[in-house]
Amino acid sequence: MSEDQQFTEIERLRLAKLQALRQQGQEPFPPRVERTHSTAEAIAAYEAAGEQPVSATLVGRIRSMRLMGKLAFAHIEDGYGTLQLFLRADDFGAEALQHFKDHYDLGDFVEAQGEMFRTKAGEISLNVKVLRMIAKAITPLPAAKDEVVDGEVVRHATLADPETRYRQRYADLAVNPQVREVFRIRAAILRALREFLDKHDFLEVETPVLQPVYGGAAARPFVTHHNQLKQDLYLRISFELYLKRLLVGGIERVYEIGRDFRNEGVDRTHNPEFTMLEFYMAYADYQRVMEFTEEMMNFVGKQVLGGSKFSYQGHDIDLANAWPRISIADAVQEFAGIDLSKYPDAASLAAVMAEKKYKVRAGGSRGKLIEDLVGDHVEPLLIQPSFLYDYPREVSPLAKSQPGDANTVERFEGYMGGFEICNAFSELNDPLDQQARFEEMGRSLKADDEDLHPMDEDYLRAMRYGMPPNGGFGMGIDRITMLFTDQPNIREVILFPHLRRREGE
């Protein structure tokens, strides 16, 4: 491929401008810049000085240009806002103005030194004395133009194609300010969660991403290989079993925020890698964790949104209302019209579901069928923050059974906006019961997939040393971010979501 063919016509023109700058002794990518004010600071300083001229050196990216014969206007954008540059032949120099017109483009980063003033049209601007290129843009940004309507900046014909936006997130972020805002909120959520947990004496830890035995959830793992050890390793599907080992070690309250990997289908609420918070709290049960969850989410709302109310996809949601707590049995009775106590086994439950024309999965256990009922008939209705509790034992191998009801475990899930946001239980700490559950699960999984044997002997050994009773909790950060930023798709809250590889890339 010749050099000409890898660049578009516009790019070749810009490369020529870059070469011209170099030939004139102006380095288009200098290593150091001057900056006395951000754009916001410069405006504040000018106002604070009673609108008397204030000297300032600003940096930023050129976002608009309006060129006239002996006068030019341009807006630059930095991390704090935008500001208009005013270049007039009288002050800036006729030759310098022509040089600017010939060599500077939208998207270039510049350093501008001059004095703050107000234009005749009333906009606080920088009357530029000296302008310098600090990073030349070869490829044009995909945005068209900004229009100011009632003080709001409206950007026209901006990058909209989702594929390009995700593959070239840098371009998306550069031209779509609302995308930057999503990730600012995401960071604020993480900060607030850490602040809350730290305040409550939790210790933040990091546990292995590469694991010889995966576990803690029912999901297919990614497999990788360590060459020197000649050993297959799995990317973790949860943190659970490692974090609970730490309770055995005497850490009473522990949490981890990090990445989980699940080799499963991809849709608008699932990405192959996603960010999870898990915490474990010794001497707490699932009821205590439920209260703590409400408290934590209200704290996050206050820190991130400044209150408890937000809107998600047209629904007004309020974190501060007491979160309704509904048992699985009551929820299924109310929303699916089935009294679970009358159908004690998979066959009879499947029969009544078929009678009601509900979807029935072939060969599903009673617990699995109950989960399906909840997923189809209850979950989509739970728009306001709500808890479902008391789950079937056979879909919860790490949760403690209810006293007096071995088939029901002390577990809850939190819902908001019509999807699951968290999952928690009174953690099983009886090593003998745990071993039986693993064996049970091994058998039921074996029927589907011979490869799935998540028996973790070392975890059982840890538990035999004695694990304090504790409540555990897991929450998907991506989904919380979707809710708080009103995004319908998980890819909108992940900077570089996974997409299929394109030919030749």
Partner RNA sequence: GGUCCCGUAGCUCAAUGGUAGAGCAGUUGACUCUUAAUCAAUUGGUUGAAGGUUCGAGUCCUUCCGGGAUCACCA
For the segment 307-346, give every residue that binds RNA (CB under 7 A): none
Contact with RNA (CB under 7 A) among 140, 258, 272, 442: 140
Site for RNA in 438-477 (CB under 7 A): 441, 454
Q: Considering the complex, what minimum distance in angstroms separates the CB of residue 36 from RNA?
A: 22
Residue 14 vs 300, nearer CB to RNA: 14
Contact with RNA (CB under 7 A) among 36, 287, 435, 489: 489
Please tell me what DSSP assigns to residue 452: -
Q: Considering the complex, what minimum distance in angstroms separates the CB of residue 156 from RNA?
A: 4
Span interacting with RNA, options 143-151, 250-258, 314-322, 462-470, rule CB under 7 A = 143-151
Examine residue 395 and tell whether it contacts RNA (CB under 7 A): yes
| DSSP-H helix ranges across 24-113 | 39-48, 89-92, 94-103
Contact with RNA (CB under 7 A) among 361, 446, 453, 461: 361
Span interacting with RNA, options 19-27, 275-283, 293-301, 493-501, rule CB under 7 A = 493-501
Q: Which two tokens stand for residue 196?
A: 């809350």
Residue 301 vs 474, nearer CB to RNA: 474
Residue 40 vs 203, nearer CB to RNA: 40
Examine residue 143 and tell whether it contacts RNA (CB under 7 A): yes
Size of site (CB under 7 A) for RNA: 76
Q: Which amino acid is at 172?
A: D
Contact with RNA (CB under 7 A) among 28, 215, 221, 385: 215
| C-alpha to C-alpha distance for 442 and 447, rounded to whole angstroms | 9
Count how many Cα atoms sit within 13 Å of the Cα of residue 453 in the half-sphere of its side chain. 4
Give 354-386 as a DSSP string.
HHTT----TT--HHHHHHHHIIIIIGGG--S-E
Examine residue 259 and tell whether it contacts RNA (CB under 7 A): no
User: Which contacts (CB < 8 Å, 24+ apart) does range 493-501 have?
Assistant: 493/182, 493/183, 493/186, 494/271, 494/274, 495/169, 495/183, 496/166, 496/169, 497/166, 497/271, 498/266, 498/271, 498/272, 498/273, 499/163, 499/166, 499/167
Cβ neighbours of residue 136 closer than 8 Å, sequence gap 6 or more: 14, 17, 18, 21, 28, 29, 105, 108, 109
| Binding track over 155-174 against RNA, x by CB under 7 A | -xxxxxxxxx-x--------
Residue 252 vs 486, nearer CB to RNA: 486
* CA angle at 128 for the pair 75 and 171, rounded to the nearest 5°: 30
Q: Considering the complex, what minimum distance in angstroms separates the CB of residue 82 from RNA?
A: 9
Contact with RNA (CB under 7 A) among 37, 136, 244, 262: 262
| Binding track over 71-100 against RNA, x by CB under 7 A | x-x-x--------x-x-xxx----------
Q: Return the percent helix, strand and coil in the chain, to nearest 5.
A: 35, 30, 35
Count of other CB atoms within 10 angstroms of residue 479: 22
| Helices and strands: H and E segment counts in the chain | 15, 21
Span interacting with RNA, options 19-27, 116-124, 297-305, 347-355, rule CB under 7 A = 116-124
Residue 49 vs 94, nearer CB to RNA: 94
Examine residue 18 and tell whether it contacts RNA (CB under 7 A): no
